[in-house]
Structure 1
Amino acid sequence: MAKFSSAMIVFALASGAAVRIAAAQSAPPAPDKVWHAPAEQGLSRSLAAHPEQKYEIDATHSYSLAELIDLAQRHNPETREAWQAARAKADELGIARSQLFPTLTAVVLASSLRQAALLSSHFDRQTEGLFIPELHVTWLVFDGGERGATIDTAKANLLAADVSFNDTHRKLIYAVSSAYYHLLNARGQREAEEASLKNAQAVEDQAHSRLDNGLATRPDLLESTAARAQAEYDLQAAIGTEAIAHGELATTMGLPPETELTVVEIDKLQPPAAMADSVDKEIERAFSQRPELLTQITRLRAASASIKAARSAYIPSLDLVGDGGMARAYGELDQLPRTYAQGELWDAGLELRWTLFDGLRREREMARAKAEKKAAEAGIDALRDQVSNEVWAAYTNMQTALRQQQAAAALLASSSEAYNATRESYSYGVRNIIDVITAQKALAQARSEDVFARTQLLLQSATLAFRTGDLIQLPPGKGTP
């Protein structure tokens, strides 16, 4: 009875474990309930055990854009992932090339056999033992070009992985540049709002002083106070926008958003003064550099290799097969003494294979390969149209940004002069407080537009370089992926 109870306990425990495993590997029980299972906790523990990649930066150093890009390239996980993918494709090319060489295999055959041997009018028990160590060689001498096609496909896949690796860097460089210019714009907007707040406070103080001296009215003071409160409100919004832009830059570089990071200010940057090349040259350069187009070319090469492989299926293949080694054997027959023998053995042969009929499989593979090639060619044409449109839009946006930056600088100068003149006239009683507040708001708007125009010009310049592929033509950084 005790043994039976123990067996039942073991069976119950095993059944419970099986039920838990089944529950962990099943789908959620219903569409209206959140899924919770032991496997979820296991995933959470595995995620917690995976260390987060971090690196230190100098909080006292003002990082330039080039330094920020270098840090991001050396620490961003996407570049490491793309790098490992390219290395895997390089190994696949080595695997494809290995098919050109013979395969040599060490084989050991050992067997023991007992059977009844018919001797004269009765059966005698016979025992045999065999031990054969040998080398087996196989070599595909001729295959009609299938291996060459496989190698060409692997080469195309490796090129595609390398181009994808470059494209990862291109996108990362642009992401860092965009986040950097957004931060400069947000910081410039905050500084502009601070200056506007100082002006609003000065106007309020002036209105208060004139009211005390009987030169202004109570509504004048209230208008200036409202303008100062509006400036404080706008400043707080600008501070929040700057904090968000700071976190965006930090996370783009693979850092926590709260990381203290000092960057070179916009006043130390030299924006472009004119377009470097014509739009035709920009488009032509994009056609030769854009990673997407280069990837399409590798797709076209892979499709051509597939056609070559499909054609090779119509051609016979020739294999060389051989074995060589030593054989050791012993035998025993009832009423007879045991025997033992050893000797050298080898064989070699050529095997010719030619597929005569396969249910039209080769025809279908050929048609599929040709369709893939035509699709790749059409993809190149479609992508060229897309690249042309993107470069044209980026070029036009940069031209617009150039003109806007010049206009914004002129607007800021005139608005500053108008504001100073209006305040001076107000102090003489020639202009009223509404005129001063209007001039102050116009100056604040001009400051904001000047900062936006300068950062927008830098951003559009980076966008044009991104669209043409110029970003990855820069000298490489010191680090590795």
Structure 2
Amino acid sequence: MQPTPGIDPRRAYGLPELIDIAQMQNPQTRIAWQQARQAALTTGMVEATYLPFISANVIGGWQDVSSTLPVTLGSVNQVSSRVEGVSPQVALQWLVFDFGQRDALHKAARHNATAANILFNGTHQKIIHDVTRAYFLYGAARSRVRIAEQNASNARKISAAAQARNDQGRGTTVEVAQGRQLVAQAQFGLVQAQGAERDSYQLLMAAMGVSPLTRISVREPGRRALPASVGTPTEEMIKAALARRPDVLASFSAMKATRSAVGAAEAEFMPKVFLGAVAAGGGASFSATGLPTIGQQASTTGVLLGVTMPLYDGGLRAAQLKKAESLASTSEATFEATRDAAAREIVVAADTLRSALASYRAATALAEAAAVTYDAALGAYESGVGDITAATTAESGLLTARIAQSDAHAASLVAAANLAFVLGAMTSRDVPAALDAR
């Protein structure tokens, strides 16, 4: 496996550029494109059945016959004969009328092609969503590393204060040991955060569909301002979303395709009218032992108009019709289930975003209070009026609060991207635009 070509390791890529790379490199886009192309080719194949079928045929051959004579004539006691000839033909076959069977098959193929095109667009939206989500989670992992680095710095300050107090005769060796333990714990937390950052980087590479050996410098998402809250999805918003969601539209097209297939199965019970024509020429020769060769040239043309009507097939057509009706019923139920699930996803996604924003507000307040507490506890310990337990507790609380704030911020961005996705609006690279949908 080689790194994905065309990526500059010295360049810092933002979210729009990462989405562009994903849409070009991710195998899912190529798979969806080929499926859409296959559906379009199927439509063309059905359209070809409206036209006549013309074929060129050549028939040639010979026949040798040898017979023993009952009486020998001179030195001849048998006679041999040969008949040979070649007949070139041009034939035409044309199904003139089939009670709408080809029309039903054509409609089914067109609906399937529409569904494939919609799913192709849906694949692009899903890739945008997956890359966006992985990008924000990677940003959160990098933020955790910075918080862990700051936590290690704070731990070293407490450890240094404990050592200074001990050197001045105001502290104890127990406090020095506690300070060193705090530094070791902070270093352990930093190593874990760095490992999580590497894991989230690979998840981003996987979402983009590029080689895991590829090295990409990712630009920080920045501290995007978050709104106080978002409103509850209205009935009009849900209807508009259902009208543009790829999975709902594709399911609707599939339902119409199965309905057309029922019409095609019904037409199998009806007669078919066909037209046939042939233009043929031929040359034949006959030769017998001792006789001159006889040759003959001939030509033939003809037009036929016929009707075919199946009378008995052992229940095959009836079974095919029942199967088509069952598939149509299944597709209708699938469409209703897809539509209901989509509406439910929109409501749940909006609730998740509101919860994430509320968590971010609470975590921000907690981080601000924890920072004040830590500064006060460290200052008191350094001045000799506090104890190391209060300082370490405040430092631990500050770490927890900052991580909670960072995670809540990333969760809000991910929830906003998810809401845009379930609304069928994940078409812009400037995500998450759903944050502005009050």
| TM-score, normalised by the number of residues in structure 1 | 0.82
Is 1:368 aligned to 2:323, yes or no?
Answer: yes
Is 1:453 aligned to 2:408, yes or no?
Answer: yes
Q: Deviations over 1:230-255 (max 9, x none)?
A: 11111111011111111221233233
Is 1:89 aligned to 2:89, yes or no?
Answer: no
Q: How does 1:298-313 map to 2 (within 5 A)?
A: 298-313=253-268
Q: How does 1:52-451 map to 2 (within 5 A)?
A: 54-115=4-65, 126-267=81-222, 269-271=224-226, 274-275=229-230, 278-333=233-288, 336-451=291-406
Gaps of 5+ in 1: 1-50, 118-122, 476-481
Q: CA shift at 1:272, angstroms?
A: 5.0
Check conservation: 2:64, 2:82, Cα contact below 8 A: yes
Check conservation: 2:156, 2:183, Cα contact below 8 A: yes
Q: CA shift at 1:277, angstroms?
A: 6.8
Check conservation: 2:143, 2:406, Cα contact below 8 A: yes
Q: Deviations over 1:166-214 (max 9, x none)?
A: 2322322222122211211111011001001101101111121122222
Q: CA shift at 1:65, angstroms?
A: 1.0
Select between 142-151 and 95-104 the one with higher mean Cα deviation: 142-151
Q: Structure 2: how far apart are the matches of 1:297 and 1:469?
A: 15
Check conservation: 2:3, 2:211, Cα contact below 8 A: no
Q: Structure 1: how far apart are the matches of 2:331 and 2:429?
A: 29
Q: Structure 2: how far apart are the matches of 1:473 and 1:266?
A: 16
SS state at 1:267 partner: coil
Q: Structure 2: how far apart are the matches of 1:420 and 1:279?
A: 46
Q: CA shift at 1:473, angstroms?
A: 6.2
Q: Structure 2: how far apart are the matches of 1:336 and 1:213?
A: 139
Indicate the percent of aligned positions where both proteins have the same amino acid: 29
Check conservation: 2:14, 2:221, Cα contact below 8 A: no
Q: Structure 2: how far apart are the matches of 1:255 and 1:374?
A: 41
Q: Deviations over 1:68-95 (max 9, x none)?
A: 0110110112211221122122111111
Counterpart AA for 1:99: T
Q: CA shift at 1:474, angstroms?
A: 6.0
**Aligned in 2, Cα 1:206/1:251: closer, same or farther, shift over 3 Å?**
same
Check conservation: 1:247, 1:258, Cα contact below 8 A: no
Check conservation: 2:15, 2:429, Cα contact below 8 A: no
Give the match for residue 40 of structure 1: none
Give the match for residue 31 of structure 1: none
SS state at 2:171 partner: coil
Q: CA shift at 1:53, angstroms?
A: 8.0
Counterpart AA for 1:177: T
**Aligned in 2, Cα 1:439/1:366: closer, same or farther, shift over 3 Å?**
same
Let me know the Cα RMSD of the aligned residues.
2.4
Q: Structure 1: how far apart are the matches of 2:385 and 2:392?
A: 14
Give the match for residue 433 of structure 2: none
Check conservation: 1:136, 1:322, Cα contact below 8 A: yes
Select between 108-117 and 311-320 the one with higher mean Cα deviation: 108-117
**Aligned in 2, Cα 1:424/1:472: closer, same or farther, shift over 3 Å?**
same
